[in-house]
């Protein structure tokens, strides 16, 4: 079992498989992109498989595949097939922008990978395409409807962006009237590759909820697991639900159960900190699994209690883009 220096059990791994992406969301990276890693710097599929198997042996039972955009990686199905054979993994999920997932849906169903987080910051093409700086809304929306039709458990991530998509909040909520989908509104974080700096946000979780309550005053709080980052709500009579994730306000750090591995093998114990070790380097230096696991356990003993504490320790973390961290 993996336990950190604050006695928190770590059982959830967010595993990034690439830092590349076919979109250019303006809250994630500059329009020209970032300095993407060379393919030799990324963990290979066999390194990803070895790393995830090792992490599961150490006590991870939930893995989320993320990126960059996971489906730009052509060999991703090999990793998914391998993970799905691991009986000790209780849940495999994927965070995706939904542009390239379409042709993989039958395989995902076959592998029983049915928890999909879809990033969709608008439900109207013009706003969506403006935020993502590409013209893919029709494909993403079609894939959303297909996933719902095929019975995937879909959560939509919508970053609330001042001056960009506030008018989309109510229409996004309307999706939950007829579809069994969870729409989660996230606070914007300053991980955008240096293109926008801020240390306060207007649309924090309280403002988002207050805005929602003006149109849907009858909303009700729903229970959520202790380690959940989302506060969940339902609107009576609606098939789906909605959530608010205080990713910038960080009200949930105390019960953090997660660890991140970036596409280049950096072990990240907190979004707001710097990587502790590089697993790719250890793997390529010939370290065995036991010794790498020892390094990981050691890194877990240097965790800050909260993201605010971690941010104080490591300056310059906001130069990063979320595409390199994995979200
Ligand atoms: N490309 C995939 C996607 O967009 O779903 C996976 C990677 S993306 C980095 C993971 C998540 O991070 C997405 O839900 C995205 O909206 C979110 N994200 C990216 N930049 C963010 C930021 N600056 N603040 C808050 N969330 C952000
Ligand atoms: Fe790509 Fe996801 Fe970042 Fe958008 S949020 S640019 S889809 S990695």
Distance 301 CA to ligand 1 centre (A): 27
Nearest 5°: phi and psi at 231?
-95, 125
Mean pLDDT of the region 305-310: 89
Give the chain's end-to-end CA distance (angstroms, integer): 24
Distance 84 CA to ligand 2 centre (A): 25
Q: What is the pLDDT of residue 195?
A: 86
**Ligand number, closest to the Cα atom of 203:** 1
Q: Is 321 in the pocket of ligand 1 (CB under 6 A)?
A: no
Question: Would you say 95 and 155 are in contact if contact means Cβ atoms under 8 Å apart?
Answer: no
Q: What is the pLDDT of residue 317?
A: 67
- Looking at the chain, the whole-number percentage of residues with pLDDT higher than 70 is 99
* Residue 151 reports pLDDT greater than 70: yes
List the Cα angle 279/64/260 in 5-degree steps.
35
pLDDT tens profile 169-221: 999 999 999 999 999 999 999 999 988 888 899 999 999 999 999 999 999 99
List the Cα angle 11/98/249 in 5-degree steps.
50
2-291+302-325: CATH superfamily: Aldolase class I (3.20.20.70)
Instruction: State the Cα–Cα distance between residues 48 and 8, nearest whole angstrom.
Output: 25
DSSP-assigned letter for residue 253 = G
> Which of 20, 24, 28, 158 has most ligand 2 atoms within 8 Å of its beta carbon, as the pocket-test mutant?
28
Q: Is 118 in the pocket of ligand 2 (CB under 6 A)?
A: no
Distance 168 CA to ligand 1 centre (A): 18
Average pLDDT across the chain, whole number = 95
**Ligand number, closest to the Cα atom of 22:** 2
């Amino acid at each position: 079992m993996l336990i950190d220096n604050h006695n928190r059990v770590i059982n959830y791994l967010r595993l990034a498989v690439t830092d590349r992406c076919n979109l250019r969301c303006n809250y994630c990276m500059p329009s020209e992109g970032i300095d993407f890693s060379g393919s030799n710097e990324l963990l290979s599929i066999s390194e990803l498989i070895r790393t995830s198997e090792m992490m599961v042996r150490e006590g991870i039972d939930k893995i989320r595949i993320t990126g960059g955009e996971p489906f730009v990686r052509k060999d991703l199905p090999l990793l998914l097939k391998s993970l799905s054979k691991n009986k000790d993994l209780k849940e495999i999920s994927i965070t995706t922008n939904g542009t390239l997932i379409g042709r993989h849906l039958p395989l995902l169903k076959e592998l029983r990978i049915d928890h999909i987080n879809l990033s969709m910051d608008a439900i109207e093409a013009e706003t969506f395409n403006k935020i993502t700086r590409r013209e893919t809304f029709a494909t993403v929306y079609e894939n959303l409807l297909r996933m719902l039709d095929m019975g995937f458990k879909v959560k939509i991530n919508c970053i609330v962006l001042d001056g960009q998509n506030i008018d989309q909040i109510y229409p996004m909520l309307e999706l939950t009237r007829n579809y069994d989908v969870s729409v989660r509104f996230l606070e914007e974080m300053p991980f955008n590759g240096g293109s926008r700096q801020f240390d306060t946000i207007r649309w924090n979780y309280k403002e988002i909820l207050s805005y929602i309550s003006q149109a849907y005053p009858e909303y009700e709080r729903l229970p959520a697991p202790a380690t959940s980052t989302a506060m969940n709500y339902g609107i009576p009579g609606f098939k789906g639900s909605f959530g608010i994730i205080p990713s910038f306000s960080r009200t949930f750090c105390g019960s953090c159960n997660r660890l991140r591995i970036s596409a280049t093998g950096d072990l990240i114990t907190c979004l707001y900190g710097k990587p502790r070790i590089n697993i790719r380097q250890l793997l390529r230096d010939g370290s065995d699994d036991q010794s790498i696991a020892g390094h990981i356990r050691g890194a877990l003993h240097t965790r800050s209690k909260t993201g605010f504490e971690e941010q104080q320790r490591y300056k310059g973390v906001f130069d990063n883009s979320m595409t390199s961290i994995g979200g």
